[in-house]
Amino acid sequence: MKIIVTGGAGFIGSNFVFYMLKKHPDYRIICLDKLTYAGNLSTLKGVLDNENFRFVKADICDRNAVYNLFEEEKPDMVVNFAAESHVDRSIENPEVFLQTNILGTAVLMDACRKYGIKRYHQVSTDEVYGDLPLDRPDLFFTENTPIHTSSPYSSSKAGADLLVLAYHRTYGLPVSISRCSNNYGPYHFPEKLIPLMIANALNDKPLPVYGKGENVRDWLYVEDHCKAIDLIIHNGRVGEVYNIGGHNEMTNIDIVKLICKHLGKPESLITYVADRKGHDMRYAIDPTKIHNELGWLPETMFKDGIKKTIDWYLNNREWWETIISGEYQNYYEKMYGNR
Ligand code: NAD
Ligand code: TYD
């Protein structure tokens, strides 16, 4: 089996590459990644010498580059992680989100049509469903919840999902889509809540909590997400959407306080800052479908996963310190300087 994994130098994509090379040692994994600010080749250094792995630096929007790679490798499957993924950046500059997340998806699927494919899998997000109110803990996103997006990021992901389903109906492309809740774990880029708070706390810097910190996210350890995608691409039904989530809802402020506690840092570092525009209140996934059809269940409890994650950031300071000492500093100043 030959799989092209796009966005494999980013957070979830790299964890998926590691998971697949270990789980299926006979598979060939080809990572196609543009190496944007969020992609990091050093993340993949442990597998670059693996003879079943190949890294190709290219943009999923570059039709020639994508077609050439398909021509050369004749992949059996494509798993598309490549995306602009940060909501705050999408509020500042939506255009690149539309380019990569929608047009890039179209280019990949056109290549699949042209060269043939057993499965095209789109890695989507629960954010396409919009948000749920805090006072209705009985409500969850199912695969039938209407698409109702809030941010340019989630709108671009929803646009891509609609296109994927259209390619299935119109051209018969064998597609599947997964919509997962917030992930956490190793190699998470330090602009996102959990790694940002860990890095700031370790540097005794303020911990910027948006609004009142009462927004709720449904956190899943990244490896559980990778396992779910592996199940879907092999056993999931073509043309179907699968929600992935672990019934692990937490408020942002509780997460930040937990990180302070684990690191022995004072809660006085917490600083309440201006809220995100259009900030989604609550995400919560109903994973019944993937559980019933594919037997998937999350395996890592949050209390264990967050400890593993914090330990990883403590043991891999060089990885994130290199990131936050470079171009990222300009971003940080822009987003948080006058907030
Ligand atoms: P990330 O930002 O850490 O990584 C994205 C990767 O895509 C980077 O390696 C980047 O270089 C690459 N990339 C960006 N534009 C590209 C382009 N035009 N061509 C080729 N490569 C390009 O993102 P992530 O958090 O790992 O998310 C991966 C996917 O999972 C995304 O599609 C995201 O929407 C989805 N998702 C993320 C979460 C989460 O909690 N992080 C939850 C659900 C779904
Ligand atoms: P984030 O990690 O950006 O993921 P998403 O917006 O895709 O869910 O943010 C998670 C939550 O944390 C979200 O409610 C916004 C909040 N947040 C902060 O309060 N402060 C921060 O500095 C960041 C980056 C996020």
**Using one digit for the tens of pLDDT, what is the confidence trace for 202-244?**
999 999 999 999 999 999 999 999 999 999 999 999 999 999 9
Most informative mutation of 4, 12, 155, 164 for ligand 1 (most atoms within 8 A of CB):
12
* 44-91 residue pLDDT tens: 999 999 999 999 999 999 999 999 999 999 999 999 999 999 999 999
For residue 334, pLDDT beyond 90: no
Q: Which ligand is nearest to the CA of 195?
A: 2
Residue 328 has pLDDT above 80, yes or no: no
Q: Mark 119-150 as b/e (b = at least 16 C-beta within 10 Å).
A: bbbbbbbbbbbbbbeeeeeeebbebebeeebb
Respond yes or no: is residue 336 known to be catalytic. Answer: no
> What's the rounded mean pLDDT across residues 24-50?
96
Checking if the pLDDT of 129 tops 90, the result is: yes
Average pLDDT for residues 295-315, to the nearest whole number? Answer: 98
Looking at residues 285-292, what average pLDDT do you find? 98
What is the overall mean pLDDT for the chain? 97
Average the pLDDT over each of 2-11, 58-67, 322-331 and give the range with the smallest value: 322-331
Task: Indicate which residue of 59, 127, 218, 280 is catalytic.
Answer: 127
pLDDT value at 331 more than 90: no
> What is the arithmetic mean of pLDDT over 191-207?
98
pLDDT tier for residue 294 given thresholds of 50, 70 and 90: very high
pLDDT, residue 75, reads 98
> Which residue has its alpha carbon closest to ligand 1 atom 25?
11
267 has catalytic annotation: no
**What per-residue confidence (pLDDT) applies to 197?**
98
* DSSP secondary structure string for all residues of 130-169: --B-TT-TT--B-TTSPP---SHHHHHHHHHHHHHHHHHH
pLDDT on residue 333: 85
Catalogue all structural domains in the chain, each as residue range(s) with its CATH number. Answer: 2-336 (3.40.50.720)
Mean pLDDT of 319-337: 86
Least confident among 9-13, 78-82, 250-254, 334-338: 334-338
Active site residue 153: yes
**Looking at ligand 1, which residue's alpha carbon is closest to its atom 12?**
7
Active-site option among 120, 129, 153, 221: 153
Residue range 272-283: average pLDDT? 98
- Name every protein residue with a CB atom under 6 angstroms from any ligand 1 atom: 6-7, 9-13, 33-36, 38-39, 59-61, 81-85, 100, 104, 123, 125, 157, 180, 182-183, 189
- In 2-94, where does DSSP find H-type helix? 11-23, 63-73, 87-92
> What mean pLDDT comes out for the span 258-286?
98
Indicate the DSSP class of residue 42: G
Q: Given this model, what pLDDT does residue 256 score?
A: 98
- % of the chain exceeding 90 in pLDDT: 95
Q: Closest-lying ligand to the alpha carbon of 44? A: 1
**Burial level of 56, CB count in 10 A (0-12/13-18/19+)?**
middle
Of all protein residues, the one whose alpha carbon is nearest to atom 6 of ligand 2 is 87
Q: Given a cut of 90, is residue 332 above it in pLDDT?
A: no
**257: helix, coil or strand?**
helix
**Among 41, 43, 81, which residue has the most ligand 1 atoms within 8 Å of its CB, making it the best to mutate?**
81
Tokens read off for 183: 């992930």
Kindly report the number of other CB atoms within 10 A of residue 42's CB atom: 13
